[in-house]
Amino acid sequence: MREERAHPRADVHLEVRCESAQDFVTAYAKKIGGGGLFIRTAKPFCLNQEMHLRFTLPGVAAPFDVRGLVVWTNPFASLAAFPTGMGIKFLNLDPHQKTIIDDFVRTKLAEAPSGA
């Protein structure tokens, strides 16, 4: 059964700084969409933890400084169907930032080989 999402997502390899009151990590986002991103890390933050995110999209000069919320985690590499990491929901994207991300995702998806 195919999963339906509110926001399309694109594959990326994007360095992201994640900082909360308790933790700090620089990791790589593997997926991004207008609603959030997936960060691959061996040490995901706790579920429902808020954080500050900083990243720059390729071809976009201004970095994104946004708040996010951990909405799911997979701390176990043994669950092969899902990589180790955390799903982050954006909490405070302004309309201009959302448009930039949506345009980036549309472009990436259009460039992807068919069947990918």
Q: CATH number of the domain that 91 lies in?
A: 2.40.10.220
Which of 66, 84, 59 is CA-nearest to residue 18? 66
Q: Confirm whether 14 is domain-assigned.
A: yes
More confident residue, 59 or 8: 59
Asked whether residue 64 is assigned to any structural domain, the reply reads: yes
Distance from first CA to last CA of the chain, Å, rounded? 17
* 21: containing domain: 9-111
- Tens digits of residue pLDDT in 28-67: 999 999 999 999 988 889 999 999 999 999 988 899 999 9
In a domain, 83, yes or no: yes
What's the domain count of the chain? 1
**Rounded to the nearest 5°, which phi and psi values hold at 108?**
-60, -45
How far apart CA 80 and CA 2 sit, in angstroms, is: 19
Residue 26 lies in a domain: yes
What is the reported pTM? 0.84
pLDDT tens, 70-109?
999 988 766 557 788 999 999 999 999 999 999 999 999 8
Quick one: pLDDT at residue 71?
96
Q: Could you tell me if residue 93 is inside a domain?
A: yes
- Determine, yes or no, domain membership for 2: no
pLDDT average, residue stretch 21-32: 90
Can you give the pLDDT at residue 4? 54
Domain contains 57: yes
SS3 content of the chain, % helix, strand, coil (to 5): 15, 40, 45
Strand partners, 34: none
